Chains A and B, each alone.
Chain A
Amino acid sequence: MAQITPAQTTLVQAKMAHKLHDEERIHRSIIIDRSPAEIYTFFRNFSNLPYFMKDLVALTVRSETMSHWVVQLEHGPKVEWDAEITEEKYAEMISWKTVGKTEVQQAGSIWFSKASRNLGTIVRLHMAYSIPAGRVGKLATQLVGEDPDSILLTNLSRLKAYLETGEVPTTKGQPSGRDEDLAPEMKH
């Protein structure tokens, strides 16, 4: 079987496009020490996504291709959308886009190809989105770490951590000397 080289994959990726109005595009990649089939199978079952995706509080799979997403932004409002899987190829790629009316119109595409040596799989994530005018747009462009590129990078890291170790690293819930974290008798 001919191996897909990164160069070929990049050419294939160039075709991925769901035209959105006034769209921005970003892409990032990460190497995960699992096989393309394993990562594809995990990701294709969208109900697995809340295990690692930042701020994704609920995801309901409604049919083979339709799903409903609820995101509670860390420093912002709750946003929801419906997504449809538009294309998929076993162990190679999945594409999806939002359907219907939503503040965060977006399209995504994830690609899996074997990495060199014994490193596992190169996972490439492409997103196209239009920055909305309202409250979410303001947040996306102003808050460091909450911008789409940071979120995309963070989610890839978290996917890798979850698949390689079985957990997502966090410090939420640990003690600190900040007022809100002090032992009850110390609060004033």
Chain B
Amino acid sequence: MKALCWFGKHEVGIRNVKEPSIINPHDAIIKVTSAAICGSDLHIYNGTIPTMEKGDILGHETMGEVMAVGALVTKVKAGDTVVIPFDIACGSCHFCKEEEYASCDNTNPNSVIADRLYGHSGSALFGYSHMYGGYAGGQAEYLRVPFIDTNSLVIPQGVPDEKVLFLSDILPTGYMAAENCNIKPGDTVAIWGAGPVAQMAIRSAYMLGAERVIAIDHFEKRLEMAEKAGAHTVNFDNSDSVLDELKYLTGGRGPDSCIDAVGMEAHGHTITATLDRAKMAVGLATDRPDALRQAIQACKKGGTVSVPGVYGGFLDKMPFGAAFGKGLTFKMGQTHTQKYMKPLLQKILEDQFDPSFVITHRIDLDKAPQAYQQFNDQKNECIKVVISMH
């Protein structure tokens, strides 16, 4: 089968690899019908995610048709159309029972690496480094899904892939980012980044009762998309100080909550952002956290900073004094996707929400390597790429 493989920084390619088979009794094999490229795949593309190996198959936003199931699978059947969450959970451990699926204890075969680096290992992820399990990803014609009964959402017949594909990651991720803000009626929420997760977070914040959402980015097309959802937008290229502008917009109080939907590779022109880029270039830093610094600085006293953006290592020059001084709450982490898929599918089926608005590019798998480059280099035009297969 054809699969998109990673070979190093800015090096991805299509390879003809063997097809996956059932290895464990709760596995299933799915024939992938649609997959998407995620902003977090670009961190891998740019070589900032540790413990990748040459030849790893990428992709964690995937859906398709179930071809075969293992002996102990009880709910999902061959022929079902399923969306696969990006995190792999066992469904049985204490964390899964609490619906904290991204903290699952039992799916990462390399948990000892994460245990050493982070103190504990979270759940495994599809196509996202060996520290997170080393599972082959879903930008491929077929995918092995462990614990399919837990790691799938069955979609009723006749629903187009594009409407439900993003239940695999960016919609639940944006929704959980907004939920983590603990929004109260009348609140103002500021969001750094207007990429796909932020677009979902903006709409989720309104669904959860925010009065105003402010989106901060410097790509006009992304800001336009945010405006369509009713967000007030700030282009940081045209602003002397984002922080002053946010203060001005909120009567000096600051946003009630701030979402960092950028993560480890922030763009930004501040002195600290420039210093981050220089350090990262020579291997002295693992992450460029300038969006997070601004979010902390901007947030109102006692407010919440919610971080769906991915971080991997050690962060320099964090204004922790500001965070302490203002008594901020931090909420972050990988999304407990399985918890949100079903209620969000309901909203889609009831036509309350259609996340397909975010798609700008539709390609077939052979074009995926170019699409990575385009998504990375032309963030203005290229917002979300969907790969159609079979």
Contact A174 B135 (CB under 8 A): yes
Asked if residues A161 and B106 are in contact (CB atoms below 8 Å), the reply is yes
**Complex CA distance for A183 and B115, rounded to whole angstroms:** 34
Q: Measured between C-beta atoms, what is the minimum distance from A164 to chain B in Å?
A: 5
- B57 CB within 8 Å of chain A: yes
Residue of A nearest to B147 (CB): A165
Which of A31, A119, A172, A175 has the most chain B CB atoms closer than 10 A to its own CB? A175
* Distance of B8 from chain A, by nearest CB (Å): 12
Inter-chain CA distance A104–B292, complex, in Å, is 50
The one of A31, A164, A174, A178 that contacts B92, using a Cβ cutoff of 8 Å: A164
Also in contact, A169 and B107, with CB within 8 A (given A150-B112, A177-B56): yes
> Which residues of B have CB within 8 Å of A178?
53-55
Q: Which residue of A lies closest to B4 (CB)?
A: A177
Cα separation A173 to B135 with both chains bound (whole Å): 11
Smallest Cβ distance from B82 to chain A, in angstroms?
19
Contact status A165-B92, CB under 8 Å: yes
Chain B interface residue count, CB cutoff 8 Å, equals: 46
A164-B93 contact, Cβ under 8 Å, with A174-B136, A176-B57 = yes
Q: Is B18 an interface residue (CB 8 A)?
A: yes
Within 8 A of A (CB), among B109-145: 109, 111-113, 115, 124, 133-136, 140, 144
Stretch at the interface among A15-23, A60-68, A91-99, A152-160: A152-160
A171 touches B105 (CB 8 A): no
* A166-B25 in contact (CB<8A): yes
Asked whether, in the complex, the Cβ of B25 is within 8 Å of the Cβ of A181, the reply is no
Is B17's CB under 8 angstroms from A181's CB? yes
Shortest Cβ gap from A68 to chain B (Å): 27
What residues of A have a CB within 8 angstroms of the CB of B124 in the complex?
169
Whether B3 and A175, one on each chain, are in contact in the complex, defined by CB atoms closer than 8 angstroms, is yes
Place the interface of chain A in its size category: 20 to 34
Say yes or no: is A167 at the interface (Cβ < 8 Å to chain B): yes
Chain B's closest residue to A170 (CB) is B109
B21 at the interface (CB under 8 A from A): yes
Q: With both chains docked as a complex, state the minimum distance between the C-beta of B142 and any C-beta of chain A, in angstroms.
A: 8
How far, in angstroms, from A153 to B113 measured CA to CA in the complex? 10
- Residue ID in chain A nearest B134 by CB atoms: A171
Beyond A169-B133, A174-B23, whether A182 also contacts B17 by CB under 8 A is yes
Are A186 and B133 in touch, CB under 8 angstroms?
no
B318 in the interface, Cβ–Cβ < 8 Å? no
Given contacts A154-B112, A182-B16, A183-B16, contact A175 B54 (CB under 8 A): no
Residue with the highest number of chain A CB atoms closer than 10 Å, among B18, B106, B115, B135: B106
Does B19 have its Cβ within 8 Å of any Cβ on chain A? yes
Contact digits for B179-214, partner A, Cβ 8 Å, 1 yes 0 no:
000000000000000000000000000000000000
Asked if A119 contacts B24 (CB within 8 A), the reply is no
Give the residue name and chain of the B residue nearest to A149 (CB).
B112
C-alpha gap A33/B124 in the complex (Å): 20
Known: A33-B94, A181-B17. A171 touches B133 (CB 8 A): yes
A176–B1 Cα distance when bound, in Å, is 11
Docked-complex contact B18 and A165, CB < 8 angstroms: no
Task: Tell me if B275 is interfacial: C-beta within 8 Å of chain A.
Answer: no
Q: B91 to chain A: which residues have CB within 8 Å?
A: 165
Is the pair A164, B55 in contact by a Cβ cutoff of 8 Å? no
Q: Which of A58-80 contact B (CB under 8 A)?
A: none
Min Cβ gap A158→B in Å is 8
A181–B108 Cα distance when bound, in Å, is: 21
Are B105 and A160 interface neighbours, CB within 8 A? yes
Residue B47 is within 8 A (CB to CB) of chain A in the complex:
no
Is the CB–CB distance between A145 and B55 below 8 Å?
no
Judge whether B92 and A169 touch: CB under 8 Å. Answer: no
Q: Which residue of B lies closest to A152 (CB)?
A: B112
Cα–Cα, bound, A167→B56 (Å): 24
Told that A164-B92, A170-B109, A171-B109 touch, could you supply 17 new A-B pairs with CB distance under 8 A? A120-B94, A145-B113, A160-B105, A161-B105, A165-B91, A167-B25, A167-B72, A169-B106, A169-B124, A169-B133, A173-B21, A175-B1, A175-B57, A175-B136, A176-B56, A181-B17, A183-B16
28 contacts between A and B (CB under 8 A): A119-B94, A153-B115, A157-B111, A161-B107, A164-B90, A164-B106, A165-B91, A165-B92, A165-B106, A166-B25, A166-B26, A167-B24, A167-B72, A168-B24, A169-B24, A169-B133, A169-B146, A171-B135, A173-B23, A175-B19, A176-B17, A176-B56, A177-B56, A178-B55, A181-B55, A182-B18, A185-B16, A186-B15
Q: Which 10 A-B pairs have the closest CB atoms?
A: A177-B5, A178-B55, A177-B55, A177-B15, A161-B106, A175-B17, A167-B24, A169-B109, A186-B16, A176-B55
By a beta-carbon cutoff of 8 Å, the part of chain B in contact with chain A is: 1, 3, 5-7, 13, 15-21, 23-26, 53-57, 72, 90-94, 105-109, 111-113, 115, 124, 133-136, 140, 144, 146-147
